[in-house]
């Protein structure tokens, strides 16, 4: 809801923009261009919108990154600009601040240790192959619904070691998360996720196995066991954190390939480039933005932000800022990126714990998709559509092949 009256006294008039993160202008056609419409050469590095309760948005790459890494003056408690969402979700470790955050994060990180990610690769490969083999003869698909939304669900079920027959139930939840149709409130969505997870959490706490939840919940927190409430909030965080983000990323990678048949050909010819290609595509197509609430007054770009203000940090405006990356919109597989330099997976204390898993999923997708499919192109008769929000994504990606 837009209202100029929502502008607090400390917001200079020349910083005000008319911008709703859920509906940036033209987002249906192009998420990236929609966000870049906010950036002007020599324009402000931080702006204020009165949409969604009123919040700041960092628009210059270096400011996005520096504030993202500042976990002293900025807190993660608020979770998102959606008013009230943080109080509903209470994610662990995502919404915790230091020092409370550390022991929980350590426990979750141990659960995602790289040996477990490596061990998962054959299963991810198998799922990707089955999905692709089910598509090949059709000659066309909507990549979002037919592939991108299904892969991370399978992976999540495998991670927590539950039967694949749970898929329809989790799928329904996942679609509400990635493409909410307004039929559920966020409280109902949280409760549905909790109801789904509850029996597994109870079982893993009583009798730990070797699955992800068991591994994390067996790690003591400051020498004590996890409480039920903490376990629920952590498992909820993993479920919500690992589905729509991967859907969005795999969708963008497939979109890039469909638009650039020469890159399909190059990676088929040189599969050794695939890991670097995965890193570069993840840099080029970031769609996660985070929100922080200020715990103290902070001066940014010549403006005094007040304690309690919310600031929105869009990864897209860091990764696609020419001051942060040379020719940022060009995909170059030889960039030799340091994956922690870009902010697709975040930066600082909360950097994604699933980053290794997500990267492996993208690599496996590239390898299997290019290895099994003929040249894939966009369907000329049906448009690609995208959405904005805290995780932007393709909502439809119609593809064709011969
Ligand atoms: C390409 C896919 C993914 C992207 C783009 C992504 C992005 C991010 C980002 C930007 C953050 C930092 C949030 C912040 O600073 O507030 C984050 C944190 C997190 N992610 Fe991911 N993520 C992905 C996949 C996953 C997966 C597969 C999982 C788990 C199954 C996961 C679980 C988490 C968790 C638990 C955190 C919170 C870490 C903390 O607060 O210490 N993510 N992710």
Q: Are strands 310-314 and 289-294 parallel, antiparallel or unpaired?
A: antiparallel
pLDDT for 274-322, tens place per residue?
Answer: 999 999 999 999 999 999 999 999 999 999 999 999 999 999 999 999 9
In degrees, rounded to 5, the angle at the alpha carbon of residue 154 between the alpha carbons of residues 137 and 186 is: 115
Backbone angles phi, psi at 347, to 5 degrees: -155, 145
Establish whether residue 245 lines the binding site of ligand 1, counting it when its CB lies within 6 angstroms of any ligand atom.
Answer: yes
113 found inside a domain: yes
Read off the CATH number of the domain in which 102 is found.
Answer: 1.10.630.10
Question: Measured in angstroms, how far is the CA atom of residue 250 from the centroid of ligand 1?
Answer: 15
Establish whether residue 251 lines the binding site of ligand 1, counting it when its CB lies within 6 angstroms of any ligand atom.
Answer: no
Is the pLDDT at 178 greater than 70? The verdict is: no
Could you give the number of structural domains in the chain?
1
Which residue carries 């969505």 as its tokens? Answer: 189
Is the pLDDT at 180 greater than 80? The verdict is: no
Establish whether residue 247 lines the binding site of ligand 1, counting it when its CB lies within 6 angstroms of any ligand atom.
Answer: no
**How high is the mean pLDDT of the chain?**
94
Is the pLDDT at 5 greater than 90? The verdict is: no
80 found inside a domain: no
369 found inside a domain: yes
81 found inside a domain: no
Q: Ligand 1 pocket: which of 354, 366, 393 to mutate (most atoms <8 Å of CB)? A: 354
386 found inside a domain: yes
Structure tokens, 119: 């061990």
pLDDT for 133-151, tens place per residue?
Answer: 999 999 999 999 999 999 9
Question: Measured in angstroms, how far is the CA atom of residue 382 from the centroid of ligand 1?
Answer: 32
pLDDT for 66-91, tens place per residue?
Answer: 999 999 999 999 999 988 889 999 99
Which residue carries 């492996």 as its tokens? Answer: 360
Under a CB-based contact definition with an 8 Å cutoff, are residues 78 and 72 in contact? Answer: no
- Which residue's alpha carbon is at the smallest distance from atom 1 of ligand 1? 246
394 found inside a domain: yes
- Which residue's alpha carbon is at the smallest distance from atom 23 of ligand 1? 245
336 found inside a domain: yes
Residue 257 to residue 255: CA distance in whole angstroms: 5
Establish whether residue 354 lines the binding site of ligand 1, counting it when its CB lies within 6 angstroms of any ligand atom.
Answer: yes
380 found inside a domain: yes
Under a CB-based contact definition with an 8 Å cutoff, are residues 337 and 59 in contact? Answer: no
Question: Measured in angstroms, how far is the CA atom of residue 288 from the centroid of ligand 1?
Answer: 9
Under a CB-based contact definition with an 8 Å cutoff, are residues 364 and 125 in contact? Answer: yes
Atom of ligand 1 nearest to the CA of 105: 41
- Which residue's alpha carbon is at the smallest distance from atom 21 of ligand 1? 352
The parent domain of residue 272 ranges over 91-286+313-401
């Amino acid at each position: 809801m837009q209202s100029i009256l929502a502008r607090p006294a400390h917001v200079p008039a020349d910083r005000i923009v008319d911008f709703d993160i859920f509906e940036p202008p033209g987002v249906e056609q192009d998420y990236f261009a929609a966000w870049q419409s906010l950036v002007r050469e020599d324009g402000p590095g931080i702006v204020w919108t009165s949409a969604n309760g009123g919040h700041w948005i960092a628009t210059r790459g270096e400011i996005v990154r520096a504030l993202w890494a500042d976990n002293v003056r900025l807190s993660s408690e608020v979770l998102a600009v959606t008013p009230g969402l943080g109080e509903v979700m209470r994610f662990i470790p995502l919404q915790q601040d230091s020092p409370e955050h550390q022991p929980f994060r350590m426990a979750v990180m141990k659960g995602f240790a790289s040996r477990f990610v490596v061990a998962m690769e054959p299963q991810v490969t198998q799922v990707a192959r089955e999905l692709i083999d089910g598509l090949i003869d059709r000659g066309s698909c909507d990549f979002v619904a037919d592939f991108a939304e299904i892969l991370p669900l399978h992976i999540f079920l495998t991670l927590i070691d539950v039967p694949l027959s749970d898929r329809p139930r989790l799928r329904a939840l996942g679609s509400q998360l990635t493409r909410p149709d307004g039929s559920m409130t966020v409280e109902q969505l949280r409760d549905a996720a909790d109801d789904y997870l509850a029996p597994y959490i109870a079982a893993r706490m009583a009798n730990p196995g070797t699955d992800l939840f068991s591994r994390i919940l067996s790690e003591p927190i400051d020498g004590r066991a996890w409480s039920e409430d903490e376990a629920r909030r952590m498992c909820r965080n993993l479920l919500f954190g690992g589905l729509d983000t991967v859907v969005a990323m795999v969708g963008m990678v497939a979109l890039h390939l469909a638009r650039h048949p020469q890159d399909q050909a190059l990676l088929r010819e040189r599969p050794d480039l695939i890991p670097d290609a995965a890193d570069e595509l993840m840099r080029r197509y970031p769609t996660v933005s985070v929100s922080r609430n200020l715990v103290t007054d902070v001066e940014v770009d010549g403006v005094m932000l007040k304690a309690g203000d919310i600031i929105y940090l869009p990864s897209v405006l860091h990764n696609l800022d020419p001051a942060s990356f040379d020719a940022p919109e060009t995909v170059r597989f030889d960039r030799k990126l340091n994956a922690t330099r870009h902010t697709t997976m975040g930066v600082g204390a909360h950097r994604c714990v699933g980053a290794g898993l997500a990267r492996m999923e993208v690599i496996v997708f590239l390898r299997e998709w290019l290895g099994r499919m003929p040249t894939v192109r966009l369907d000329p008769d049906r448009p690609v559509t995208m959405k904005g929000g805290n995780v932007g994504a393709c909502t439809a990606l119609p593809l064709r092949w011969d």
